[in-house]
Structure 1
Amino acid sequence: MAETLNPDWLASPSIQAVFDALEVGGDQARAVGGAVRNTLLRVPVSDIDISTTAVPQEVIARAEAAGMRAIPTGIDHGTITVISRGVAYEVTTLREDVETHGRHATVRFGSDWLKDAERRDFTMNALYVDRQGRLYDPVGGLPDLRHRQVRFIGDPAARIAEDYLRILRFFRFHAQYGSGALDAAGLHAAIEARDGLRRLSAERIGMEMRKLVSAPAAADTVSLMADIGIIEIVLAGVARIVDFRNLRRLDIVAHETRAPSLGLAALAGFIDEDIERISTRMRLSNAERKRMLHALHMADRFGKQSDTHQVREMIYRTSREAVVDGILLAWARQGGDPMDRRHLSLLQIAHSFIAPVFPVKGKDLVALGIPRGPQVGERLSELEAHWIEQDFRPGRDELLGAVEISRS
């Protein structure tokens, strides 16, 4: 008897409406890939992809006839984004490769589910389920999934030659879903083809590395990538494997250790120039670059003697995120012992402290007779420095009283 699944997402009215629209005139549709894989692994499902024998123009026509929005996001390769009851589904016509040339392959549409499966990357990503929950496994992905073995479909070297990004995906999927040793054939092919990573765009490298450094088994996986000469190609520089491993030792005390920006800062950030290089190499956003720089600067500060008052002051002057990142990065550089009491205390304060608002304004000083202009700013700065030094305790009246006393 075929295995069946009954996840909530498959029973939802939104996806069933898509099946209703597609499965007419003898056409079929099945959910495929990540949604099926994650359901079987009992991990959250984020996106749902659907494969169908219906050609793209029919997908558009049928979706729109059913009152759904159809967006031709990748129509040349058979992909239409269908919006059903506010939920987006990527619907792709069954394909087979006619010619492969890097990332973009020449494909032809068809109705052969096996050929569609054979053009995918890993066996665990070629599992299908129909609207009734019946599971289809054309290339033997289910045993690999149960053993948490990331294995290429067909010849690993040939699959990598089709798209060198699959090297990074091989390691990323192992870090996210794998267990034990990597598939030997896949690992050998990845090593042999590693120079192909130099041909990839910054955006695609960054996309995979963000996911890889935040995956559960990232530390061991990145360490292996360093041993075989891949991580240096990806980073275009030297990696700090020990610091990154130590950072991930702290997963049990802080969820921020899984933040891609902090992970990349720990892995590759010695100085500011490293952050700029990595940001360019992976086409990171300005927000990501700034977070990495702040983490680096804060780590230098908290790597020295620091106390809870300094944590509160830095949160007030910068942000909680920057301070937490800095503490964690400094902690990783100093061994990453999750039971280190000093760092635990600093982290607890950083997580709990709510920065107060400085209670004095310029108009308060003007009302006391201080002339408008630079003097107001100078006195405000002096008062604020005193207020911070006193651990934010003096209230408005006490601070203004000190101004009056100083003027008498």
Structure 2
Amino acid sequence: MTSAVDDILAQAQWLRNDAVQAVFSAIEQGGDEARIVGGAVRNTLLGHPVPDVDIATTALPGDVMERARTAGLKAIGTGLDHGTVTVVSNGFPYEVTTLREDVETFGRQARVVFGRNWVRDAERRDFTMNALYADRHGRLYDPLGGLQDCLAGRVRFIGEPDRRLQEDYLRILRFFRIFAAYGEGEMDADGLAACLRQREGLRQLSAERIGHEMRRLMSARRAAPALRLMNDCGLWEIATGGLARIEDFEALRGLDDLAPETAHPELGLVVLAGFVREDLERICDRFRLSNAERKRMQTAWAAMKRLSPAAALPSAASLLYEFGRQGAIDGLLAVWAGLRAQNIRDDDRFAARLADLRSQAVPVFPLKGADLIAAGHQPGPELGNFLKYLEGEWRESGFSLSKNELISRSV
């Protein structure tokens, strides 16, 4: 097994890349070692994309910075108190962190000493599948037996789960998020029980940290079963301050094969928590969502309400003009999911309308105030009112009236 795993890692494009090898060459001097750790190793073994590469090393942070700069690489002390240096090689950032031993923890804060013991470094991490290391040649180092858990999709805390959670209560949400992304079968019972015992610790976390973790969780492939467990355990209410329409979200993710938007957290939050518009504002404020995320959720919610009830779906052109392509698709998917959650199947009609929303051009009103002025109208409030009237005529025509036809109605 180990030989086969080593071969998989050795062939990984991100490991064979000259940029990461340059970082290894810079760091591994004077007897120091460096190894890739965590997500890059886990994702490669499971066949998932590798978005970033983290490196653990026995070299002290100051030595990492000096050696990187001597090698012509950019080094930034992004977390020196915790031993982390960001080394930029060929334009790509690598987080390089010195092996650590947490002596005493205070939530996320810890009094840290640096070490050279790979086992001790692994023991302070969160889950066994994240305590996997690989050297620059792809040789696996598995100090805690995490390989079998990784390949089987078992998400298990390292050591005593309650202690891992008390070190950082965000690990409650990470437990569900990692399970949603990589887990198979049932959730680890000991870990779940510990999350229940420690759940009040979620109230100590900042809104930004909760929001960041929740958005990642909601886009994972098994988000629906993970969120149902969270809701059943009372964790959703603590994290969001509200209730959840779990059945609607499960139905939404049942459309994954038809629409990639179903995995977008903005739409997921609308379906889960959008009972009334105020719910969206609360979620946006609580999770510190960006203006763009907030706007998308507001538009999706408005489109969802416009489409409910769905006995007579508005035309694709009308939806596109009113809400834009993204908003129209989001609203359609939200209503479709709501009907499926009620065991009402109208898949053919909704699939056809979804195809129309993707293929049809978004209508653009062809007339401007300047066009009416050029036709002899006087500027002022009446001009604006008349322009709105003509826009209504254009919409009533099924967006078919041309600019000249509209102007002819104004003279």
> So what's the TM-score if we normalise by structure 1?
0.95
Secondary structure of 1:239 counterpart: coil
Structure 1: segments with no counterpart, 5+ residues: none
User: Which residue of the other structure, out of 185, 192, 195, is the alignment partner of 1:187?
Assistant: 192
Question: How do 1:25-44 and structure 2 match up within 5 A?
Answer: 25-44=30-49
3-state SS in 2 of match to 1:392: coil
Question: What is residue 15 of structure 1 aligned with on the other side?
Answer: 20
Q: Distance in 2 between matches of 1:22 and 1:232?
A: 46
Deviations 1:229-263, CA, capped at 9 Å, x for gaps: 21121121211111111111111211101111111
CA contact (8 A) 1:19 1:29 kept: yes
| Separation in structure 1 between the aligned mates of residue 405 and residue 208 of structure 2, nearest angstrom | 54
Q: Is the 8 A contact 1:252 1:338 kept in 2?
A: no
Shift of 1:314: 3.0
Matched, 1:76 2:76: no
1:193-239 CA-to-partner distances (Å, cap 9, x unmatched) read 11111111111111111011111111111111111221121121211
Q: Which moved more, 1:91-100 or 1:380-389?
A: 380-389
| Structure 2: runs of 5 or more not aligned | none
What whole-Å deviation, never above 9, does each CA across 1:25-47 have from its counterpart, x for those lacking one? 11111111100100000110001
Q: C-alpha separation between the residues in 2 aligned to 1:388 and 1:220? A: 43
Shift of 1:135: 0.7
Q: Is the Cα contact below 8 Å between 1:165 and 1:200 reproduced in 2?
A: yes
RMSD: 1.6
Residue of structure 2 equivalent to 1:350: 357
- Which position in structure 2 is the counterpart of 1:214? 219
1:403 and 2:406 aligned: no
Report the Cα offset of residue 339 of structure 1.
5.8
State the partner residue of 2:368.
361
Alignment partner of 1:380 is 2:387: yes
1:306 Cα deviation after fit: 6.5
Secondary structure of the 1:204 match is: helix
Number of aligned residue pairs: give it: 404
Residue 318 of structure 1: CA displacement?
A: 3.0
Task: Report sequence identity in percent.
Answer: 54
Aligned partner of 2:110 among 102, 105, 120:
105
Q: Which amino acid aligns with 1:208?
A: E
Q: Which residue is equivalent to 1:118?
A: 123
**Alignment TM-score, normalising by the size of structure 2:** 0.94
Q: Alignment partner for residue 400 of structure 2, among 368, 377, 393?
A: 393
Distance 2:72 2:375 in 1: 67
CA distance in 2, matches of 1:192, 1:357: 56
Partner-residue secondary structure (3-state), 1:73: strand
CA contact (8 A) 1:307 1:346 kept: no
Larger CA deviation: 14-23 vs 268-277: 268-277
Deviation at 1:338, TM superposition (A): 7.4
Contact map agreement 2:14 2:20 (CA 8 A) in 1: yes
The equivalences for 1:262-341 within 5 A come to 262-305=267-310, 310-335=315-340, 340-341=347-348
Deviations 1:43-102 (A, max 9, x none): 100010001111000111011111111111101100011110101000000111111111
2:339–2:345 Cα contact (<8 Å) kept: no
Q: Does 1:163 align with 2:168?
A: yes
| Runs (4+) off by over 4 Å | 305-309, 336-339
Q: Note if contact 2:299-2:323 (Cα within 8 Å) is conserved in structure 1.
A: no
SS at structure 1 position matched to 2:283: helix
Q: Please say if 1:131 is aligned against 2:136.
A: yes
Moved more, 303-312 or 143-152: 303-312
Counterpart secondary structure, 1:264: helix
